[in-house]
């Protein structure tokens, strides 16, 4: 847990189909298993696959916090899509917020149809760095493809998140959560993805 910070406010964002909701629920479950009071809320900006999805996870030692994080009060932003990360950061960020973002874009239909232009990744990363205290980037989508399942992108992001040491959850604790959630070969793939994210983040820091 961040020193002196209670509750800790985590925003998880992405687009539909990226596993944003599962990511946030696994984090919340890990906090609860550790004895925290935890609340979670989910907002869906579009009903179809590809619409914006945001979750608020709040964890406290003292009491169950309100479900919504106030504007400008996020402690950590976990973004599975880079432009969504920047968009959420503009609303919930502050000079001390920590950000971890996937770098693989999911192009909206307006960009695919040529009606709008998706910003270049370098510009997005620069803006995220400007709006945050600390920022880490990784291509979790590419890593999930290397493992053989793009549905593991969110689990790779969890592995990277715990490696940042910005929240009071350990790699071992998240392994336990995945073993509770999944079984057999599915569990093995998820555990491999968790490890892949941790290693990628540790290499980025080194």
The model's pTM is 0.92
Q: At a CB cut-off of 8 Å and minimum separation 6, what does 106 contact?
A: 14, 15, 18, 50, 81
**Is 80:20 a contact under the CB 8 Å cutoff?**
yes
d(CA 198, CA 104): 18
User: What pLDDT does residue 23 have?
Assistant: 95
d(CA 76, CA 156): 16
pLDDT at position 81 is: 96
Kind plus residue range of the DSSP H or E element containing 115: none
End-to-end, the C-alpha distance of the chain in Å comes to: 22
Measured between alpha carbons, how far is 24 from 137 in angstroms, rounded to an integer? 19
Helix (H, G, I), strand (E, B) or coil at 43: strand
Positions in the chain short of pLDDT 70:
1-4, 45-50, 206
pLDDT of residue 47: 42
Domain regions of the chain by residue span: 8-205
Q: Tell me: the pLDDT tens digits for 41-97? A: 988 765 455 678 899 999 999 998 999 999 999 999 999 999 999 999 999 999 999
Compute the distance between CA of residue 55 and CA of residue 64 in angstroms, rounded to an integer: 16
- Torsion, Cα 195 32 85 68, to 10 degrees, reads 180
pLDDT, position 13:
95
CATH of domain 8-205: 3.40.920.10
């Amino acid at each position: 847990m961040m020193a002196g910070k209670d509750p800790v406010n985590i925003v998880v964002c992405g687009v539909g189909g990226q596993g944003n909701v599962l990511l946030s629920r696994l984090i919340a479950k890990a906090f609860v298993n550790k004895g925290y009071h935890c609340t979670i809320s989910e907002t869906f900006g579009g009903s179809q696959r590809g619409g914006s999805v945001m979750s608020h996870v709040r964890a406290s030692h003292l009491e169950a916090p309100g479900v919504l994080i106030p504007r400008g009060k996020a402690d950590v932003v976990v973004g599975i899509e880079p432009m969504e990360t920047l968009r959420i950061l503009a609303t919930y960020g502050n000079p001390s917020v920590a950000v971890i973002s996937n770098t693989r874009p999911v192009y909206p239909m307006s960009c695919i149809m040529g009606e709008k232009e998706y910003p270049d990744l370098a510009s997005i990363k620069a803006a995220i760095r400007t709006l945050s205290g600390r920022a880490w980037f990784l291509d979790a989508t590419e890593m999930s493809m290397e493992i053989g399942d793009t549905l593991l992108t969110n689990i790779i992001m969890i592995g990277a998140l715990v490696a940042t040491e910005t929240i009071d959850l350990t790699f071992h604790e998240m392994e336990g959560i995945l073993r509770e959630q999944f079984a057999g070969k599915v569990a093995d793939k998820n555990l491999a993805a968790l490890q892949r994210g941790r290693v990628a983040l540790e290499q980025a820091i080194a």
